[in-house]
Amino acid sequence: MTPTTSPAAASVALSPFEQTRSRIEARTARVGIVGMGYVGLPLALLFSDERFPVTGFDIDRKKVETLNAGGSYIVRIPGTEIQAAQRNGFCATADYSAIREMDAVLICVPTPLNEYHEPDLSYIRLTAEAIAPHLRAGQLVLLESTTYPGTTEEVLIPLLEGGAPAGLRAVHTSTENGLYVAFSPEREDPGNDTVARRDIPKVIGSYGPAAGELAALLYGSIFNRTVPVSSPAAAEMTKLLENIYRCVNIALVNELKQLCHRMKIDLFEVIDAAKTKPFGFQAFYPGPGLGGHCIPIDPFYLSWKAKQFDFHTRFIELAGEVNEAMPAYVIQQTIEALNRVRKPVNGSRILVLGLSYKRDIDDLRESPSLPIIEMLRQRGAQVSYNDPYFPTVGRGRHYDLNMTCTPMTDLAGYDCVLIATDHSDYDYARIVEEAQLVVDTRNATKGIVSEKIVLC
């Protein structure tokens, strides 16, 4: 009789690389996602939809408790989606020792700027140090956080290797036992319902072909297309290019908005006319400044890194400066609008509509509404706000407001209503009808004719 090999023996014979690959193929690979925010939580749900057992890691115990109770703290993700994921094995924890049970570890933590406009990698560093002692051979470690080219190889890998069990190293080939490391930039666009998440191609830059194979296999299970590039640095630069492209073009229209204001030309009319051209033009729109985690930050990440190569990114830095100056421009236009009706900003009652950085989302990150409120206060204005997504706003990394949402029941009682975010819930016709003065930074009142409106 020919001896047969039991499934258990065959599994033991597999190398760590082969074990991870086979588990991914069978959808039994345990996926750990560090950072249950605007990037990590949607990613966890995608994996859960494909029946992967997913564990979410976060140092915020309130988030962990909310998720394990079947709730959500992100408006666009209903609790029913969390509960469906739980039925597929999803859970959350603040205990990083559970990392050793994962086959793939995805890092989705913030990468802000510090007060000097330099990259702040503290979240990546702290995460790497927290997970390193619990790593084992055969695990796939993926960084998704937006950062400068070189971070994966120059920062993440040395931290992982420095804190990992003795002898555990990042390796290039499938015949080596170690960690398989790659970078794959997140491409979240909060509030965009026109493109399904799985239809967004996933760029992957791996530290060696073995990591690339595993990462493509893992991401290919939840995204319809993967896009491999030659290195982690190439993938890191890809993310920066995508967002700097938008930053530069938004800076262009923000600058043109200021010029068109002086020339008494409606820039929004100009953009609408220009975008009828079927080639060579893509419409970008001005606003009160940039918000979100990426576009306001990425230009400074690249300009900081460029200095290490004795290169000054003048064009990119200028775009960042133009966009950063927009809240001050809004303040100046508000002051002038009040002056025209013989009211000083000092002592005026001003209602700011919208706190989030873009329409119909609950995200305050880098929102221009926050410095606008602070600057109005500094000039003596009595400022209130209304935003359906924020009943209160307290203190953050770069702001300290401590305010409560004001109902829109007495619009006429304000000297000025300033539209900072054009949420769909607002009835702009009613706002214009009842308010004394409307400063519109988003063209939200388009089509409404009134001398009360000041486009800014």
User: Active site includes 294?
Assistant: yes
- List residues bridging with 203 in a β-sheet: 227
Crossing angle of helices 326-340 and 314-324, in 10° steps, is 30
Cα(416)–Cα(399) distance, integer angstroms? 23
Whether residue 293 contacts residue 366, with contact meaning beta carbons closer than 8 Å, is answered with yes
The angle formed by the CA atoms of residues 392, 375 and 240, to the nearest 5 degrees, is 80
C-alpha 90 chain-centroid distance:
23
| E strand or H helix at 182 | strand 180-183
| Tokens matching residue 250 | 């938004």
For residue 118, the SS3 value is coil
Residue 281: burial class (beta carbons within 10 Å; 0-12, 13-18, 19+): exposed
Q: What is the layout of strands, in order, in the sheet containing 382-386?
A: 382-386, 349-353, 416-419, 438-440, 453-455
H/E segment holding residue 67: helix 61-68
CA angle 205, 210, 211 (to 5 degrees): 40
Is residue 345 within 8 A of residue 380, CB to CB? The reply is yes
Please count the helices (runs of H) and the strands (runs of E) in the chain. Answer: 16, 15
Tell which phi-psi region holds residue 282, choosing left (phi > 0), alpha (psi between -120 and 50) or beta.
beta
Contacts of 292 (CB under 8 A, 6+ apart): 190, 357, 358, 363, 365, 366
Specify the length of the chain in residues: 456
Read off the DSSP letter of residue 149.
Answer: T
What is the spatial distance between Cα 151 and Cα 236, in angstroms, rounded to a whole number? 8
Rounded to the nearest 5°, which phi and psi values hold at 311?
A: -130, 130
Strands 104-107 and 382-386: unpaired
DSSP state, residue 443: -
Give residue 377's identity as a one-letter amino acid code: R
Query: Which of 108, 247, 260, 294 is flagged as catalytic?
Result: 294
Hey, which residues are catalytic here?
A: 294
